[in-house]
Amino acid sequence: MRTSSKLVKPIAAVTGSLALAATLTACGGSSAASDEKVVTVYSADGLKGEKGDGWYDKVFADFEKETGIKVKYVEGGSGEMVQRAVREKNNTQADVIVTLPPFIQQADSKGLLQAYTPKGAEQVDGANKAADGKWTSVVNNYFGFIYNKQQLKEAPTTWEELLDGTFKNKLQYSTPGVAGDGTAVVIKAMNDFGGQEPAMEYLKKLQANNVGPSSSTSKLAPKVDKGEILVANGDVQMNFAQSKSMPNLGIWFPAKEGGKPTTFALPYAAGLVNKAPHTENGKKLLDFMLGEQAQREVSAVGGGFPARKDVKATDANAIELAKLIEGVEVFEPDWADIDKNLTTYVDAWKTATGS
């Protein structure tokens, strides 16, 4: 078993649709395909707006207007997108893949990514990009939970509160190993409870209140907003953006009883797919997403945090987001360990919960 000292490296506290499923053509990397004015993106959910008003919606439209290259978009859980790309390795369909950790590392370890350093990547912190150029974060983000503000007068504060009968069949989190945010539940529990074994003991108890699996985290917010469930997992960027049209959503960060609330960075990381049918178009899109204009819109339009440290957002969303995570302790997962042992951790979760 692994203790939290091996799993994470504590750092300072922070202060201050189902998606559009694109119809894909079997490009297969031919020269004709490479000349097409198209780029295909496989992405974790969260950056595309339910009403066409998300960061992806704005960036993709601006990109097409500037370059004439149309974006074909396929969305799902982080693990789901990686698995799809693996199945298609002999007939590659995607040009760019965007997932949450540890699935971007998994994509790399499965040979899905080719090295490319987008313009502006030098302004991305080292922890948020691969040293060999295989992937770079395009939107920074943090793991979190949501609750229904209308039915709960105050947000829960601890993991232990979620074991209360109040949350019987009123709590749900997305599936570890399939969804990036679901996998994050296991990572955070292992940090907060001090290792794999105590985390699994807790999650076994929590299962009594859990509604059941969900392959996509974004599907949970509407259920919380409507009061069908009271608590779910998520991430700050996605849930903050959703809260604009779902007024009953509140964001919170669980703590172990007697401890401080914690979170960790969970960025949207993008990589150029190996043997992509439209490699040059993929490079152009990655450059565009890391461009100053797109990065300035990460908070204003997308409700997230810019990946570039030289882009200082000052819009109303940026100010609100900074307040939201103020005083929350941030830890840095050991992503190399998690990538290596992810199957072990997910299997332990399945055993503990009977999933």
pLDDT exceeds cutoff 90 at 22? no
**In the 8-state DSSP scheme, what is residue 255?**
B
Predicted confidence at residue 32, as pLDDT, reads 45
pTM assigned to the model: 0.83
pLDDT exceeds cutoff 80 at 222? yes
Per-residue pLDDT reduced to its tens digit, 267-322: 999 999 999 999 999 999 999 999 999 999 999 999 999 999 999 999 999 999 99
Predicted confidence at residue 33, as pLDDT, reads 53
Per-residue pLDDT reduced to its tens digit, 226-241: 999 999 999 999 999 9
Predicted confidence at residue 20, as pLDDT, reads 37
Residue 102, preceding peptide bond in cis (omega within 30° of 0):
yes
| Euclidean distance between CA atoms 26 and 18, whole angstroms | 23
Confidence of residue 35 (pLDDT cuts 50, 70, 90): low
How large is the angle between the packed helices 180-193 and 78-87, nearest 10 degrees? 130
Predicted confidence at residue 11, as pLDDT, reads 38
With contact defined as beta carbons under 8 Å apart, do 105 and 333 qualify?
A: no
With contact defined as beta carbons under 8 Å apart, do 329 and 4 qualify?
A: no
Mean pLDDT, rounded, of the chain: 91
Predicted confidence at residue 336, as pLDDT, reads 87
User: Percent of the chain, pLDDT > 90?
Assistant: 86
Confidence of residue 36 (pLDDT cuts 50, 70, 90): confident
The region of weakest confidence among 24-38, 111-125, 242-256, 286-300 is: 24-38
User: Percent of the chain, pLDDT > 70?
Assistant: 90
Confidence of residue 38 (pLDDT cuts 50, 70, 90): very high
The residues with which 210 forms a beta bridge, in sequence order, are 171
Predicted confidence at residue 5, as pLDDT, reads 35
pLDDT exceeds cutoff 70 at 30? no
Helix locations, 35-151, DSSP H: 55-67, 78-87, 103-109
Closest CA to 210 of 172, 267, 153, 253: 172
pLDDT exceeds cutoff 60 at 8? no
pLDDT exceeds cutoff 60 at 165? yes
| Euclidean distance between CA atoms 85 and 83, whole angstroms | 5
Quick check: helix, strand or coil at residue 243? helix
Give CA angle at 94 (72, 279), nearest 5°.
Answer: 100
- The token pair at 63 is 């990109």
pLDDT exceeds cutoff 90 at 50? no
| Euclidean distance between CA atoms 210 and 208, whole angstroms | 6
Predicted confidence at residue 34, as pLDDT, reads 55
Higher-confidence residue: 26 or 82? Answer: 82
- The token pair at 274 is 């190996």
